[in-house]
Structure 1
Amino acid sequence: MPGVSPLARYAVSPATARGRLHPEPEAETRSPWQRDRDRIIHSSAFRKLQYKTQVFVNHEGDFYRTRLTHSIEVAQIARSVARALGLDEDLTEALALAHDLGHPPFGHAGEEALNQAMKPFGGFDHNAQSLRVVTLLESRYAGWDGLNLTWETLEGLVKHNGPLPKPPAYIADYDERYPLDLDTHAGAEAQVAAMSDDIAYHSHDLDDGLRAQLFRVDDLHHLPIVGEALAAAQKSSLDVPPPRLRHEMLRRVINALVTDLIAETRRCLASLDPDSPDAIRRSKQRVVAFSPAMADANQAIKDFLFARMYRHWRVNRMTNKARRLTEGVFRILHDNPTLLPDDWRPRAGAGGMQRSAVTVCDYVAGMTDRFAMDEHRRLTDISVQG
């Protein structure tokens, strides 16, 4: 099959794996990273992603992306890139599927609200929250909290954007217990998952923005990569209807980004000539990257989406409402932890203290958009039974 490579020397392998915090017998039919992937898919946090926002709040339309559909799209791109580079596809997929587990409801609006509310207690960081989810908050096993994922998956989860010289508090505390080499890069599989996240974001936000009529196809002609893809799509059929034109354009955008990512990464790998996963981690620079020209084009797409979509007045209105709602739910529960459900109340301890704030933050961060809206009504509307 075109593009398929044997497993490279710098890919993770069971022979170089560092195991799990809580040792377990290996499975007879699955690799360690297949087991990690399966545990992530079966987690309650992963299920909740279907009702967590990307840009549009869940009730605004069934065809807009959610955190779940985004994660699936990231995983598809990441597996394709990993296969072409001779990396372990299962670890790459596990990281792609897990990367958003720590996001609260309402996307960046919810994250900003929780960060502001948690400032006296260390702030809120969705990467640290993802680690909390898979090492503490998922309660599925008799012998430990969390999912007991492999070292390689945990490392990739916290370092997919690079080394962490000043890690958030929970990551720093966990690193004391189970060192994740925070001063190095993550392995190549994690880097592929991170870059695939960027590619998926651009393609589906352009798609959703066009669907929502926040901008028009004619507004895209000037954008690098996107403009060329649009021109090629229009040339392929002069009378193609708008929905098909959109998809014809976006598949070309994804292909251009993926093709460049693979070519530039191969160039970086040839220069570094790594003989192990640790050689990737010790590299001074990321090895999975776009070419300089494509990186510039990628930034131009980001700038366009920021100005024309993420700061559109319709999105701003919903963002403002979502931020206020999240802040309100946090404040009410933190001021009076006796309002928490039975299974959360004992964790909070006395109101107003660090333990209470962290417990309420965990509770709110785990909500879906729909549950957060319902919980706000239960807490504020006297006509709604609690």
Structure 2
Amino acid sequence: MKYVDEFREPKKADALFRAIEKLSQRLKKPIKIMEVCGGHTHSIFKYGIEEILPETIELIHGPGCPVCVMPRGRLDDAISISLKPNVIFTTFGDAMRVPGSKTNLLQAKAQGADIRMVYSPLDSLQIAKDNPHKEVVFFALGFETTAPSTALTILQAASEKIQNFSMFSNHVLVIPALKALLDNPDLQLDGFIGPGHVSMVIGSDPYQFISQQYQKPIVVSGFEPLDIIQSIWMLLQQIVENRCEVENQYNRLVEKTGNQVAITTMNKVFENRESFEWRGLGEIPKSGLKIRAQYAQFDAELKFILPNLQVADHKACLCGEILKGVLKPWQCKVFGTACTPETPIGTCMVSSEGACAAYYKYGSFSHMTKKMMLDKEKLRA
């Protein structure tokens, strides 16, 4: 297939749903499938995929949103940098309204901080060239998907000997997060829809531990409706046939060994942190990336004095439990009332990949009401 319309063809979707329905009748018990990536969550709700699935199949929304998993303490550090004199702080737009413990970057900008939205770290580097008497800092966020572009920008800054440019690195890794989820006794999963964008970089081979060590099937998926529906069908086939394998539905872009140029570049500039705090998941060993000593002049954590404090989440917000897949957004008391995209309390309602934002924008409230009633019946039982 070559064109977008071919990935949204109703007849093919209908055929896949009938095949899923047929397979679901062979299941020994209801199953839970986690889509790791927030991009998948938005596609699932945008196209109403969850509503059409058999009731024996439940989709769990994972922590694959890099803005959502950022703890409040790291956001406080970013805001602290932005408020320092002579600093231009640059960031992607979806990080602007993510709440720290007291404020967010948008409010800091209103207070006079020079904070600018950019589309790539190279935009930030150009701002540094255009403002040689200012310190320019880029808020580096994302999984392995965006880390290579950050690394390439640092290499370019080094080659051009740019002195007034640095990165506040908050890049995180998907594999340690998946291990933490699988080790969580509160979360019993039957399979995974693997992240597409991350897998374009790292490949499908790194997920072998899920099938071999944890005996769970995983299918790496694209983001169009037919991609996701086919991936669910492939997972059901594995479960019904009692197989646990790594399968690649997104083979038009994802290779087994990934993008070696991107991986080499990333490894040249970054190394693993001993530990990194994730919202909801807590401290996860070897799950974050820091800038290697060779490029220390571009590390904002070394250039500036930061609060570097761990800050508890807002008491009313259940974003952490939602990121772990333990709760659904509608089970949070402030969802859709005190917490909306315009007035977010937690990160899941802010980011374009957040589960709460997906439910709020695309969710069928009649469908959610039905789910809530089922939850109450389970509790009574």
The answer to whether the superposition gives a TM-score over 0.5 is no
TM-score normalised by the chain length of structure 1: 0.28
The structure with the largest helix share of the pair is 1
